[in-house]
Amino acid sequence: MVITRFAPSPTGRLHVGNIRTALHNWLLAKKNGGRFVLRIDDTDGERSREEYVEAIREDLSWLGLAPDGEERQSQRFDHYEAAFDRLVANGRIYRCYETAQELELKRKVLLGRGLPPIYDRAALELSEADHAAKEAEGVQPHWRFKLDHSAPIAWEDGIRGAQHFDPALLSDPVIRRADGSWLYMLPSAVDDVEMGITDVLRGEDHVSNTAVQIQMFTALSSQPPRFAHEALLVGAEGKLSKRLGSLGCDAFRERGIEPEAIVALLARLGTSLPVEPIADRGEVIGGFDLSTFGRAPARFDDAELDRLNAAIVHQLPYEAVQHRLPEGMGEAGWETVRPNLAHVGEAGDWWRIVTGPIEQPQFDAETREYLAQAVRAFAYLEWSDPTISDQLWRTLTAHLKTATGRKGKALFLPLRQALTGMDHGPDMAALLPLIGEAEARARLERAAL
């Protein structure tokens, strides 16, 4: 069974990049009949907040990306300790004492010599007496994972293809701080093993991390999952944008963006497939394929999201939105105003045209006489027969065309303005029955004065 995971740190709200990662892992699992696991990476006790854990759950629920299981790293410290002790005993983890300033100086020296700025493994030269001296001074070590330099690291990436790394050109990663707290690398590998994660889909900024973690899996006597690294999101201007880090579900909700629009955009952004307003989640799942992912950065464009959102709104059935509509708006009202909406929240603005009051423009004498004729033409309309309610507008305008000789804009616009106060809007054939005979007559009479 395919098992994927989404592993956010609860140190802030999800942003569009996180959402894309969660979505793609959810799609990969669902496409293969598998499971999608939410793993809360809350090992950083100082920065992790429970309010963000709740926000992550709420955002995934709103997006329709419900996980099939949830784990929390803060409840798994004993698992990391066991793996740590095992790796120490096997000589794959060692103690280091360099300060951040000392490491930065070493890095600058190496760069100045045109060499890769990797850790020089100086701590491996320390004797037990040296370690005892550090302990006597009250200096606590941090711990690094010792990479095996004997063979290249290789894997077949689901997006990038064959990958090869020389471990001698990578730094032995720090996996545990001097205060005993954990960094990302080892806990993540332990969790992937014990949670049975089969596929890891993440951003290309993790490629070198993957190279390191593949050796961790081997050191833990475990088979690595399949890895795929997708191109990162950039702004519409083609550069990495800090703004993308502030675009989250709360911001999208505030703008009236539908979760279906976000899913439709992010599911195919960066792939060879066209971005289309697909509201059917099954169709989105069916079209997901890692072979369609490209290597170029994926451009996120707000204008494209707005276009998709409007198209999605135009597809939404009444049952999906009725709890979000203004009081009194039924299915007929929704279907009438829906083609004019960019966001569901705008339905209330158009519904006020039906319920009133409206503000009419000032009409000249000739137009007022024309509108008075429209009032008299009501005698020809069968308001009591609901089966022909959609013909009321056609009957009215046909009668006025014959009686006045008006056509086109001169025929239709004054009626729309008098009945709605607008120059444009929903189809009048659908709108007129919603306004009703008494209210429509009253509006025309007022406009004809």
In a domain, 220, yes or no: no
In a domain, 6, yes or no: no
| Residues 374 and 414 grouped into a single domain | yes
Instruction: Work out the average pLDDT over 372-384.
Output: 92
Q: Are 55 and 15 in contact (CB under 8 A)?
A: no
| Residues 292 and 333 grouped into a single domain | no
Each residue's pLDDT tens digit, 397-442: 999 999 999 999 999 999 999 999 999 999 999 999 999 999 999 9
The range of the structural domain enclosing residue 428 comes to: 356-448
The one-letter amino acid at 404: T
- From the centroid of its chain, how far is CA 438? 47
| Residues 309 and 339 grouped into a single domain | no
In a domain, 158, yes or no: no
| Residues 383 and 410 grouped into a single domain | yes
Q: What is the pLDDT of residue 239?
A: 64
In a domain, 390, yes or no: yes
Q: Are 16 and 247 in contact (CB under 8 A)?
A: yes
* C-alpha pair distances (Å), 273 with each of 17, 283, 366, 401: 19, 13, 56, 49
Distance separating alpha carbons of residues 25 and 293, to the nearest angstrom: 14
Q: Which of 294, 328, 354 corresponds to the end of one domain? A: 354
Each residue's pLDDT tens digit, 191-207: 999 999 999 999 999 99
| Residues 296 and 327 grouped into a single domain | no
| Residues 413 and 343 grouped into a single domain | no
Q: What global pTM score does this model have?
A: 0.90
Nearest CA to 192 out of 5, 396, 390 is that of 5
In a domain, 232, yes or no: no
In a domain, 8, yes or no: no
The domain total for the chain is 3
Q: What is the pLDDT of residue 385?
A: 85
> Is it the case that residue 175 has pLDDT exceeding 70?
yes
Looking at residue 367, which CATH number applies to its domain?
A: 1.10.10.350
Q: What is the pLDDT of residue 240?
A: 58
Nearest CA to 229 out of 213, 249, 218, 241 is that of 213
Q: Which of 284, 313, 342 corresponds to the end of one domain? A: 313
In a domain, 98, yes or no: no
Looking at residue 278, which CATH number applies to its domain?
A: 1.10.1160.10
Each residue's pLDDT tens digit, 52-62: 999 999 999 99
Instruction: Work out the average pLDDT over 219-227.
Output: 97
What tokens does 191 get?
């969790």
Q: Which of 354, 382, 414 corresponds to the end of one domain? A: 354
Each residue's pLDDT tens digit, 61-90: 999 999 999 999 999 999 999 999 999 999
| Residues 251 and 307 grouped into a single domain | yes
Distance separating alpha carbons of residues 9 and 102, to the nearest angstrom: 29
Q: What is the pLDDT of residue 241?
A: 64
Portion of the chain with pLDDT greater than 90, in percent:
92
| Residues 302 and 361 grouped into a single domain | no
| Residues 403 and 434 grouped into a single domain | yes
Average pLDDT, the chain: 95
Q: What is the pLDDT of residue 46?
A: 87
| Residues 422 and 374 grouped into a single domain | yes
Q: What is the pLDDT of residue 247?
A: 85
| Residues 306 and 388 grouped into a single domain | no
Distance separating alpha carbons of residues 21 and 232, to the nearest angstrom: 10
> Is it the case that residue 360 has pLDDT exceeding 70?
yes
> Is it the case that residue 245 has pLDDT exceeding 90?
no
In a domain, 148, yes or no: no
Each residue's pLDDT tens digit, 6-19: 999 999 889 999 99
Q: Are 14 and 56 in contact (CB under 8 A)?
A: yes
H helices of 138-277, in order, are 185-194, 207-219, 249-255, 259-268
| Residues 350 and 363 grouped into a single domain | no
> Is it the case that residue 20 has pLDDT exceeding 90?
yes
Whose tokens are 């920065």? That residue is 47
